[in-house]
Amino acid sequence: MPMKPKKIVRPWVKEHKPFERERHSTDFDYNGRKWRKLRLQVLEEKPLCNDCKAEGVVTRATVVDHEPTAKVLISKGLDPYDKQYLFPLCKKHHNAKSGREAHAGGMG
């Protein structure tokens, strides 16, 4: 009688928790309908760039950014669609920020 293969226990692999939807990655869906709607809402509520405002400059925001990043939020089990993590930015500040983030990832 051959031995039954034992169930392999990998304690370093986290068990998948049932999410509202199946998620296998920490990638945020920036093309999703939910995000596009939310992003317009944020820009309507806070039309000025957050970073420019901090510098005392008034600039119209065109981009909505996550702080912390969507990836971090998802990995922590937080809701990336929660407005408390969303900040309006102008293109200049958004580019500066995403440039830094890309750098932090070791790319570019």
Measured from the Cβ of residue 55, the count of other Cβ atoms closer than 10 Å reads: 10
- Segment 27-56, which members bind Zn ion (CB under 5 A)? 49, 51-52
Closest approach of Cβ 72 to Zn ion, in Å? Answer: 22
With binding defined as CB under 5 A, does residue 94 bind Zn ion? no
Strand residues in the chain grouped as ranges (E): 63-66, 86-89
Our CB check for Zn ion shows the closer of 96 and 102 to be 96
* Torsion 48-54-65-17 (CA) sign: negative
Our CB check for Zn ion shows the closer of 29 and 46 to be 46
72-79 LR contacts (CB < 8 Å, sep 24+) = 74/23, 74/26, 74/28, 75/26
Our CB check for Zn ion shows the closer of 41 and 95 to be 95
With binding defined as CB under 5 A, does residue 90 bind Zn ion? yes
Judged by the rule CB under 5 A, the positions of this chain that interact with Zn ion are: 49, 51-52, 59, 90, 93
